[in-house]
Amino acid sequence: MNLALFDLDNTLIAGDSDYEWGQFLIDRGVLARETYEAQNAAFYEQYKAGTLDIHEFLGFALRPLADHPGEDLARWHAQFMDERIAPMIGEAARALVRRHQDAGDLCAIVTATNSFVTTPIARAFGIGHLVATEPERVAGRYTGRVAGTPCFREGKIERVHAWLSGLGHRLADFPVSSFYSDSHNDLPLLERVTRPVAVDPDEALGAAARARGWPVISLR
């Protein structure tokens, strides 16, 4: 059995689900546009530039989960899936996932975006394993804080090792371990697998992939 890991945002989907969730809530009037829109955009630019303080961002991104009851969040997320996420899922991405599943590979999405936003997206791809940043919950309510290590940069390595250990595996156990990503922020994990693949990469990852002879593909 081989291992296939997939980044989500701008890799399997043609956009950033974390950013779009914030914009969706702004457009719905759930978040005040004048307060949140510029900050949401600024954090996204920091992510692309590789300067994001993940804990500062999570304090911003997880706050709406704590401010609203679960039934409202679930209703909004269903609308978000229909309106924002479904148009971002292309057939090429679905076909890539199916090829690995049909080959019997162990498949997982590994994403910095929190599991509230991404669990339904993983379900839409038919991927049963999700390694994501986990929002803290107490007595069934989100607190607005992160639980454990954020699944970001080197944190992705830690979280993947922990997930595999829970299944009785190690990364070294797999003859081939693939990781598909668009972002230079994922270089730490890309450097740990046996088959790193750049997918519609940003400029920094594209340059690194070409220099190292990694495959570069497009799902667009």
Catalytic residues: 7, 9
- In this prediction, residues 137-152 reach a mean pLDDT of 94
Residues 73-112: b if buried by 16+ CB within 10 A, e if exposed = beebbeebbeebbeebbeeebeebbeebbeeebbbbbbbb
What predicted TM-score, i.e. pTM, was given to this entire model?
A: 0.95
- Give the CA angle between residues 88, 2, 187 to the nearest 5°: 60
pLDDT digits (tens, 9 = 90+) for 80-130: 999 999 999 999 999 999 999 999 999 999 999 999 999 999 999 999 999
Query: At 109, which CATH number?
Result: 3.40.50.1000
> Among the listed ranges 21-25, 55-59, 128-132, 151-155, which one has the minimum average pLDDT value?
55-59
In this prediction, residue 65 carries a pLDDT of: 94
Q: How far apart are CA 67 and CA 74, in angstroms?
A: 13
Q: Which residue has the tokens 């929002």?
A: 135
Can you tell me the mean pLDDT for 140-160? 96
Residue 40 has pLDDT above 90, yes or no: no
Q: What is the pLDDT averaged over residues 23-48? A: 91
Q: For position 8, what pLDDT does the model report? A: 98
Q: What pLDDT score was predicted for residue 44? A: 87
Length of the chain: 220
Q: Which pLDDT score is estimated for 34? A: 86
Range of the domain at 10: 3-217
Domain count, the chain: 1
Calculated CA dihedral for residues 99, 104, 110, 115, nearest 10 degrees: 100
Q: What is the mean pLDDT of the chain?
A: 96
For residue 35, pLDDT beyond 90 = no
